Structure 1
Amino acid sequence: MTRPRIRHLALYASNPEALTGFYREKFGMEVIMSDPDGNHFLSDGYLTLAVLKHQMAGEAPLGLNHFGFHLDDVDGTRTALTEAGLEEPALRASKRPYAEYRAIDPEGNWFDLSEHGYGIP
C-alpha cells in the first residue's frame, strides 16, 4: 500500500479574500475554487489549502482547523483507527466533495480521510 500523504490543510481566516490574495501573490498559489460562502481553495500543484471564512458564532478559533490525508484504503484506515481505540471516523457532514471522513487523533486534532483526493471537484 502507498503511504498516506497529507494533501490538504484548512485555515479559518477573518478575511479569507485578503489571505487568499497573500498566498496567491507571495507564493504563486492558484485559486482552484471559491464558493458563495466566501471560502477559497488554493493549490501549489500538490497541496490544497482551504481558506475558510471564520464564523463569529462558531466555536472554532482562527488558524489551523484540520488537515487531510489522501490514501488508498479509507475503509482499512477507518478500521485501524477504531481498533487503536480512537473514535470511529465519521462521514463528513459538508457538501464539499473533498473528503469522505473526518477523524480525531489522540490529542483532539481533526483530520480528513479521502480516497478520491483533493483536486478540483
Structure 2
Amino acid sequence: MNRPRLRHVALVVQDSAAAAAFYRDTLQMEEFHQDPDGSRFLTDGYINLALIQQRLDGDVPAGFNHFGFEVPDISGVADRMTERGVARPVLRGGARPFAEYRAIDPEGNWFDLSEHGFLPPGLVE
C-alpha cells in the first residue's frame, strides 16, 4: 500500500440490530463484530460499515459519525497533520482490533487511522 485508503464509514443508528439486518439482507454484507453496547460492524469485503448504537443517555445524534483510513505509517501521517496545524491523532481505547487512532480534520470531522486495517480475519488483503 503506497497511500492511505478509505476503509470504513460509521453511522450512529437507533436500532443497530435492525440496521445490520437491512444491510445483510438487502446488500449481502457480512456482519463480523458486535460490541457489548450493541454496535455492529459489517463488510462488503473491502469497505466496512460501522453501525454505532445510539445511546438514550448520549448526546450523539443519529446519522453520519466518522470515517476511517488504513495507512502504512501512522507516525508519518501524524507528523504531516501537525505540520498543517492539526492536532496529532490520539490512541483510541477499547478492544477492537482496528481503528487504533482517532484524528480530526481542519473542519472538525472525526476520522480513524489504522496500520492493521479494518477488515475481519480471513478477509484481510
TM over 0.5: yes
1:1-121 correspondence to structure 2 within 5 Å? 2-120=2-120
- Structure 1: which 5+ residue stretches go unaligned? none
Cα distance in 1 between the residues matched to 2:70 and 2:58? 27
- Structure 2: which 5+ residue stretches go unaligned? none
1:97: Cα distance to partner?
A: 2.2
| Counterpart secondary structure, 2:116 | coil
Cα distance in 2 between the residues matched to 1:49 and 1:18? 14
List 4+ stretches of structure 1 deviating above 4 A.
none
1:93: Cα distance to partner?
A: 2.4
Q: TM-score, normalised by structure 1?
A: 0.93
Question: Is the contact made by 2:92 and 2:101 (CA closer than 8 Å) also made in structure 1?
Answer: yes
| Counterpart secondary structure, 1:116 | coil
1:57: Cα distance to partner?
A: 1.8
Question: Is the contact made by 2:45 and 2:119 (CA closer than 8 Å) also made in structure 1?
Answer: no
Number of residue equivalences: 121
- Residues 82-103 of structure 1 show CA distances to partners (whole Å, capped at 9, x for unaligned) of 1110011111123322111100
Question: Is the contact made by 2:86 and 2:105 (CA closer than 8 Å) also made in structure 1?
Answer: yes
Q: TM-score, normalised by structure 2?
A: 0.91
1:66: Cα distance to partner?
A: 0.7
| Counterpart secondary structure, 1:67 | strand
Q: CA RMSD in A?
A: 1.3
Cα distance in 2 between the residues matched to 1:82 and 1:37? 33
